[in-house]
Amino acid sequence: MCKVTSTPSNLTASQEKTSNSQAALAVSHAASSPREWKPLVGEGVGIIKTVLVMAYSHAALCALCVNVAFDLIIYGLPAYIFLLPFSKPLFRRYMGGLINYTTPIVFNLPMILSGTTFHCDSLELLRECKKTNALMLANHGSRIDWMMGMYVGYIADPFRARVGFVCERVIQYMPLIGWYRKIVCEDVFVDRSFKIDKINISSNLNDFHDDNIERMLFLSPEGVVVDFGERDMQYMQACRDFCKEFGVKPFDYTLTPRYKGQTVLVEHVKNGGKITSVTMAFVRDGKLLNCEMWSKERVIPDIYTLCAGLGGSPVHIFINIEELNFKADSDIKTIMMQDYVRKDNLLREWHGLLKAGKEDEMKSRFIQFKSNFWSAQIIQTLHGLQLFMFAWYFGVLSQLFRGITGMFFFIAISHTLGWLMNGTSMESVPFETSIKAVIIKLFHTKHKQDKKRLAAAVAAKKAK
Residue 407 maps to a domain = no
Q: Is residue 416 part of a domain?
A: no
| Largest CA-CA distance found in the chain, in angstroms, rounded | 79
The residues facing 287 across adjacent strands are 284
Range of the domain at 66: 47-373
Give dist(CA 92, CA 70) in Å, integer. Answer: 19
The number of folded domains in the chain is: 1
Give the pLDDT of residue 7. Answer: 44
* pTM assigned to the model: 0.89
Flag whether 385 is in a domain.
Answer: no
Q: Mention every residue, 6+ apart, whose C-beta is less than 8 A from residue 200.
A: 188, 189, 190
Judged by phi (left if over 0) then psi (alpha if -120 to 50, else beta), residue 268 lies in alpha
pLDDT of residue 3: 41
CATH assignment at residue 193: 3.40.1130
Phi, psi of 175 (to 5 degrees): -55, 135
Query: 338 lies in a domain?
Result: yes
CA 161 to chain centre: 19
Q: Is residue 32 part of a domain?
A: no
Digit-coded pLDDT (tens) for 274-316: 999 999 999 999 999 999 998 989 999 999 999 999 878 899 9
Q: Which residues of the chain have pLDDT under 50?
A: 1-8
pLDDT of residue 423: 83
User: Is 261 within a domain?
Assistant: yes
Note whether residue 460 is domain-resident: no
Residue 2 lies in a domain: no
